[in-house]
Amino acid sequence: MMLVLGLLTLVSMPFQAVAIRFDWQVARFLPWLWHRVACPLAGLRVIVNGTPSASRPLMLVANHQSWADIIALGRVMPLSFIAKSEVREWPGFGMLARLQRTIFVVRDDRTRTAEQAHAIADRLTAGDAMVLFAEGTTSDGNAVLPFKTALFGAAQAALRRSDASEVAIQPVSIAYVRAHGLPLGRFFRPLAAWPGDVTLAPHLLRFLSEGAIDVEISFAEPIVFTGESDRKAVARKAEAEVRRMMGASLAGHTVRTEAALAPAEPQSALASDLP
């Protein structure tokens, strides 16, 4: 199955590169189609709670656990990501990130915060839904780390650089909840999570060998960001909402509002083949 995904990637890459070069609208949608194929091939079932906002400008603010967050969230709707600059150079993943029209930022360089916020703001005002992983790193999947507030300034910049009166900031939680139909507990949740000190290749192979992993993506009501809004206060509110939704997902207390995407058949916990 991964061979199929590889072939699809090789075929679509040149077309997406041309679409980005000439700023064709299709460049926004091709990655979404790719993610819709990638999720079932990787054995990942996406369950959506709530509704993505139709408002624009729109910034989605999410927790971050794994490279799998990208294909799971990317399957739900056309969007682009904000990623740390190191991702650009990762073998394979860096190329895919560029074709996703990712904005790369240097998080620890405060001298570039305004410049980077303006780059994000330009994409927001152009109508792109942008995803900010506000923790600034990946967690072990059991808790939400404190949100960093600097890049929330992109919403302020979007208001200054357009005629928009407000920006929608929508909190989104990502939670890996089951493998082969069985609940993932605290000990096994790092099966899906990829903290930064874990080597990527072994984690990737282990994840793919498991297959049949369920991930819940929950959307809260958008927070209206205006010219009078305090970005730090908005960040704290978004963090609280993400923490609340993730806690509900991990505890099995979410109320399903949409059907699961790409259902996978539950298998024995000892199964090792992809579905």
Average pLDDT over residues 173-186: 90
Q: Would you say 239 and 190 are in contact if contact means Cβ atoms under 8 Å apart?
A: no
Structural domains for the chain: 43-261 (3.40.1130)
Q: Would you say 140 and 70 are in contact if contact means Cβ atoms under 8 Å apart?
A: no
Chain centroid offset of residue 224 CA: 21
Average pLDDT over residues 185-214: 72
Nearest C-alpha neighbor of 231 from the set 89, 127, 137, 120:
120
Q: What is the pLDDT of residue 84?
A: 85
Q: What is the pLDDT of residue 201?
A: 64
pLDDT tens-place string over residues 205-250: 777 766 789 999 999 999 999 999 999 999 999 999 999 999 999 9
265: pLDDT strictly greater than 70: no
Q: What is the pLDDT of residue 185?
A: 82
Distance (Å) of CA 179 to CA 40, 74, 217, 266: 14, 20, 16, 8
Chain centroid offset of residue 150 CA: 19
Identify the residue with better confidence: 274 or 199.
199
Q: 């152009």: which residue's tokens?
A: 126
Average pLDDT over residues 98-119: 86
Identify the residue with better confidence: 136 or 199.
136
CA distance 215 to 211: 12
45: pLDDT strictly greater than 50: yes
Q: What is the pLDDT of residue 74?
A: 96
pLDDT tens-place string over residues 149-167: 999 999 999 998 888 899 9
Chain centroid offset of residue 70 CA: 4
Helices (H) and strands (E) in the chain, counts: 8, 10
Q: Would you say 216 and 242 are in contact if contact means Cβ atoms under 8 Å apart?
A: no
CA distance 266 to 10: 31
Q: What is the pLDDT of residue 273?
A: 31
Nearest C-alpha neighbor of 254 from the set 222, 215, 224:
215
Q: What is the pLDDT of residue 259?
A: 45
- DSSP string for residues in 143-210: SPPPPP-GGGHHHHHHHHTSS-S-EEEEEEEEEEEEETTEEP-TTTGGGT---TTS-HHHHHHHHHHH
40: pLDDT strictly greater than 70: yes
Chain centroid offset of residue 95 CA: 17
Q: What is the pLDDT of residue 137?
A: 86
pLDDT tens-place string over residues 15-33: 999 999 999 999 999 999 9
**Other C-beta atoms lying within 10 Å of the C-beta of residue 155:** 29
